[in-house]
Amino acid sequence: MTGLFSTLATVWRIASPYFRSEDRWTARILLAAVIAIELAIVGITVLLNAWNANFYNALQDKNWDAFVYQLGYFCVLAALYIALAVYQLYLNQWLQIRWRTWLTQRYIDNWLLGANHYRMQLLGDAADNPDQRIAEDIRLFIDNGNSGILALGLGLLNSVVTLGSFVVILWGLSATAPLHIFGSVWNIPGYLVWAALLYAVLGTVLTHLIGRPLIALNFQQQHYEADFRFNLVRVRENSEQIALLEGERAEDTRLRSSFGRIAANWMLIMTRTKRLTFLTAGYTQVSTVFPFIVGAPAYFAGAIQLGGLMQTSSAFGSVQNALSFFINVYRGLAEWRAVIARLDGFDRAVVAAQAIAVTPPVIAVTRSETPAIAFKDLAVQLPNGAPLVTATGLTIALGDKVLVSGPSGAGKSTLFRALAGIWPFGSGSIAVPAKAKVMMLPQRPYFPIAPLAAAVAYPAEPGYYDSARVAELIVAVGLPALAARIDEEAHWNRMLSLGEQQRLGLARAILHAPDYLFLDEATASLDEPSEAALYDLLAQRLTAATIVSIGHRATLAAFHRRRLAFTRDGDRFALREAEMTPAK
């Protein structure tokens, strides 16, 4: 019971904000219309139940006029039912896409806001495969056949209203057609209602006992499916390295193992579903004749006519279906609960990643009126709390050219991440000039799948920079052949060599003209003459900019005036001023 209330609370937390959003009035009107139509459909079902008695009585009495009248009455009810069903589906789908659009944007915003997506990765796999959570799980939460939130909500509403409507009818029929057993008449108030209730409760209990493991199994299945897709994407994105290492056999083994988990878990789902289907299929078949078994003795005893028997069967079936709601949707409900658990896990990971950015101790990156970047009592740590690097009393003034060196693993790149404000682990502060434009250029730059001009200009909006200006910079960094392809859309990270990507990264830096440019081995894949030419280009185009480079080559010393070195200080490294080592 606690788990049920917890699930309902999670559903409310995920679903309800949409109806308080900027789209709330449209959402509320659509939902009200869908609910009103659902109630109208139940009303027509009640009228059809009464029609059953009159129609079959007309047949039994061979009353032609009554028969024709009842056919016409049925056509009117059927036409209304069809119209309502069509418009309910249309409005339901309209509400679904608006709801999904809003919820998707909300999740994307929470995921991307303030580098939260990066911190979530650092915290582990609590929110594994965010692509699946946002693209697939939100869709399944809103619309998954008969087990999305709207389908389940409307189904439950239909069951409750149907139950309330037909219990009254069935109770009345129990009085007009008392229970006949072996020639004896038993006047049990509402016996048809109690029979339907007993039948539904028995089926519900058995269904839950057999089907309960499906909730955890479906959760695992979605997890394994997402992992398999992720591994396939990894192979595609790294196909060149895999081919060069002849790693196809290793990847084949890895993919087979990943898919093997899918198949093994699916077999468990199959076994459990087989047992559940035996029960639900048998339950459904028996429910077809069960009302006749209960009501037929009264008919054969002459207590009711054929119409009364058919009305009893119809009302009994409606009550029994309403009471059997959870039996009919149990498997879909198990899948839906797995979706809810995954979205809840994603939400918790978002909140946890937001919390680590503001919960002391954290590295504070502040905007100040000082004309330089200043490190004060900075202590950078790993996510597990292990010390990494310290820096204090150091400044980087506007116009400085600084080379940062040190052994691999000392924390050079992590220091840059802390300065960018995306690495909160540690203490102390970094002051950045209030109006300074800061840009980080990593060793492997990112290019979106877009026209080359837009990819180089990223993260600026497409068209923000003149295409001729972008083309000129592409030529300037040594890629004249690409300058003619600025309107071509492609996966540039996959098409270009790392050296070509680094050249385009420097073109991006010149285009954006930052006040502080941090290069994290951003020219490491270029030969020394090319690297020298590009540093000369930066000096010519970004004359007033501060350039801070992480690099291991001694030749970089010629392009910098200061050196900051990472030196061992007990269990961590310390960033200190050091003498510039001239190139040999």
Which tens digits make up the pLDDT trace of 391-430? Answer: 998 999 999 999 999 898 889 999 999 999 899 999 999 9
Q: 């006040």: which residue's tokens?
A: 515
DSSP 8-state symbol, 406: -
C-alpha 126/C-alpha 10 separation (Å) is 17
- Split at pLDDT 50, 70, 90, the class of 158 is confident
- Split at pLDDT 50, 70, 90, the class of 278 is confident
Domain spanning 10-22+100-356, CATH class? mainly alpha
pLDDT single digits (tens) 458-495? 999 888 999 999 999 999 999 999 999 999 999 898 88
| CATH for 364-578 (3.40.50.10240, 3.40.50.410, 3.40.190.10, 3.40.50.300) | 3.40.50.300
pLDDT single digits (tens) 86-100? 998 899 989 999 999
Say what percent of the chain tops pLDDT 90.
39
In contact, 449 and 409? CB cutoff 8 Å = no
Asked if the bond preceding 361 is cis, omega within 30° of 0, the reply is yes
236 pLDDT higher than 60 = yes
- Split at pLDDT 50, 70, 90, the class of 286 is confident
Residues 6+ apart with CB under 8 A from 336: 140, 141, 144, 147, 148, 149, 152
* Structural domain spans, the chain: 10-22+100-356, 364-578
Neighbours of 508 (CB within 10 A): 24
pLDDT for residue 458: 93
In contact, 564 and 416? CB cutoff 8 Å = no
In contact, 401 and 559? CB cutoff 8 Å = yes
pLDDT for residue 174: 63
- Out of 190-199, 273-282, 520-529, pick the least confident: 190-199
* SS3 label, residue 90: helix
C-alpha 576/C-alpha 392 separation (Å) is 9
pLDDT single digits (tens) 160-192? 787 777 677 667 666 666 555 655 666 666 666
Residue 447 gets the label, from left (phi > 0), alpha (psi -120 to 50) or beta, of: beta
- The torsion angle over the Cα atoms of residues 415, 417, 419 and 422, rounded to 10 degrees, is -140
Residues 6+ apart with CB under 8 A from 447: 455, 456, 458, 492, 493, 501, 504
* SS3 label, residue 387: strand
335 pLDDT higher than 90 = no
pLDDT single digits (tens) 31-60? 999 999 989 988 898 888 778 778 878 887
Which letter, b or e, does each residue of 117-153 get, where b requires 16 or more Cβ atoms within 10 Å of its Cβ?
bebbeeeeeebbbbebbbebbbbbbbbbeebbbbbbb
Full-model pTM: 0.77
In contact, 359 and 543? CB cutoff 8 Å = no
DSSP string, 146-158: TSSHHHHHHHHHH
pLDDT for residue 303: 65
